[in-house]
Amino acid sequence: MSSQAITVTAMPKHRNTIPAGRVLGGLALMALALFFVVEQAGFRAVEAKTIAALLGALTHTRALTMGGSSIYYGFGTNNINAFGITTMCSSVILVAPLLVLGGILMLIRSFKAGRVLAGLGAALALSIFCNLVRFVAVGLALRKWGMPGFDIVHHWIGSVFVILGFAASFLLLIRIAAGGEKTAIVRPGAQRVAPEA
C-alpha cells in the first residue's frame, strides 16, 4: 500500500468582499440624509440664525429670527426687512443627495473610505457655502432694491449660482473619492505589471 500526503490550504478571502465597517458607514450616511430630510425644520432654523448673523454684520443693524426660519433685519433703522427659508430653498436639498452619494461610494470597494469621506466633507462645505452666499445676496438685494431686487437675485441669479455650486460639489466629491488611483497600462506583447501601492 502506498500513502499520499494531503495538504489542506486555507482559501484566500474574496477580494470583492466589502468590509462590515464600510457597509455600516455607507448605511449611516444614507440614514443621516434621511434624518436631515425628516428634521429639516431644525436644519432651516440653524441656517436662519447663521444668515441673520451675517446680514446683521453686513448691514450694521440688529437681526434676529422668528418662527424658526424667518429672518428679520434692519432693526435700529426705518427700514426693517424680512424673508423666510422654505424647505425647497434650504441647504437640506443639497446636503441629502450628497450624503446618499457618499453612502453609495462607501459601498463600492474601489473607492477608498478615507477619500470618500474627505470628498464628502469638501462637497458639503462647498454646497452649503454657495447656498449661504445666495441667501445673504438675497437679503442685501431686498434691502437695497426692494422686491424687484429680491425676485431677480432669488429666482434667477441665486438659483443659477446654487445649481452650479451643487454641480461643482457633486463633481468634487467624485474627483476626490476617485483621486490617486493608478491604472496599469498593458501593451501588446508586454507583461502586465501591477500598479505600485
Tens of pLDDT, residue by residue over 102-115, are 999 999 999 999 99
φ/ψ (deg, to 5) at 107: -90, 0
- Whole-model pTM? 0.82
How many C-beta atoms surround the C-beta of residue 105 within 10 A? 24
Amino acid type, 118: A
Task: Identify the three-state secondary structure at position 18.
Answer: coil
CA dist., res. 155 & res. 141, Å (int): 12
Q: Name the packing angle between helices 113-151 and 40-59 (round to 10°).
A: 60
Map out the domains of the chain as residue ranges: 20-178
Kindly report the length of the chain: 197
Residue found under cell 467624485? 174
- Reduced to 3 states, what is the DSSP secondary structure of residue 79? coil
- For 188, residues 6+ apart whose C-beta sits below 8 A from its C-beta are none
Say what the pLDDT of residue 183 is.
39
Question: Residues 26-41: pLDDT tens digits?
Answer: 999 999 999 999 999 9
With both helix axes pointing from N to C terminus, report the angle between 20-38 and 113-151 in degrees, rounded to the nearest 10: 20
Q: How many CB atoms lie within 10 A of CB 23?
A: 13
Grid coordinates belonging to 14: 474574496
Kindly report, residue by residue over 134-186, the tens digit of the pLDDT: 999 999 999 999 999 999 999 999 999 999 999 999 999 999 999 855 434 44
Sequence-separated (6 or more) residues with CB below 8 Å from residue 159 = 134
Judged against a pLDDT cut of 50, whether residue 118 lies above it is answered with yes
The three three-digit cell numbers of residue 68, written as one number: 424658526
Q: Which pairs from 119-123 meet CB under 8 Å and 24+ separation? A: 119/172, 119/173, 119/174, 119/175, 119/176, 119/177, 120/29, 120/173, 120/177, 122/169, 122/172, 122/173, 122/176, 123/98, 123/169, 123/170, 123/172, 123/173, 123/176
